[in-house]
């Protein structure tokens, strides 16, 4: 498994149509539980193929609910790499787009 998504039901269903498995989660408890299962932090890894994905996709809404846990995981340098995508309502206020981040880091507009 290369990718896995955690987020709102509609987004997870859309990704499933492309062959990417995931977990629909709305509340902080659901998001954190799914995050811990996928990363193996919560005990047994609970992903379909039994392997930790290389990339974990979180919707911005889901990521905002577990921000501290996400940052702590990223500092470990372990897989999966975490990528945030906008939800159904677009970017959350205060979140940078990928283009904005690249422009800020490199100084080149994409």
Question: What was the pLDDT predicted at 79?
Answer: 87
Q: Are the beta carbons of 53 and 15 closer than 8 angstroms?
A: no
Question: What was the pLDDT predicted at 66?
Answer: 95
pTM: 0.77
Report how far residue 26's alpha carbon sits from residue 44's, in angstroms, rounded to the nearest whole number. Answer: 22
Question: What was the pLDDT predicted at 45?
Answer: 47
- Which residues make beta-bridge pairs with 83? 57
Q: How far is CA 8 from CA 18, 38, 64, 70, 82, in A?
A: 16, 16, 13, 17, 16
pLDDT tens for each residue of 32-64: 999 998 988 765 545 554 578 999 999 999 999
Residue 17's Cβ-count burial label (10 Å; 0-12, 13-18, 19+) is: exposed
| Nearest one of 65, 72, 18 to 41, comparing CA atoms | 72
Q: Are the beta carbons of 40 and 33 closer than 8 angstroms?
A: no
CATH of 3-106, one of 3.20.20.140, 3.40.50.2300, 3.40.50.10580, 3.40.50.720: 3.40.50.10580
Question: What was the pLDDT predicted at 11?
Answer: 94
Question: What was the pLDDT predicted at 12?
Answer: 96
């Amino acid at each position: 498994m290369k990718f896995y998504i955690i987020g709102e039901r509609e987004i997870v269903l859309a990704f499933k149509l492309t062959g990417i498995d995931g977990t629909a989660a709305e509340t902080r408890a659901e998001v954190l539980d799914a995050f811990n299962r996928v990363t193996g932090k919560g005990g047994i890894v609970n992903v379909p193929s039994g392997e930790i994905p290389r990339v974990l996709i979180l919707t911005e809404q889901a990521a905002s609910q577990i921000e501290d846990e996400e940052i702590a995981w990223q500092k470990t340098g372990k897989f999966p790499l975490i990528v945030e995508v906008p939800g159904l309502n677009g970017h959350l206020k205060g979140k940078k787009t990928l283009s904005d981040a690249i422009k800020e880091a490199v100084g080149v507009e994409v």
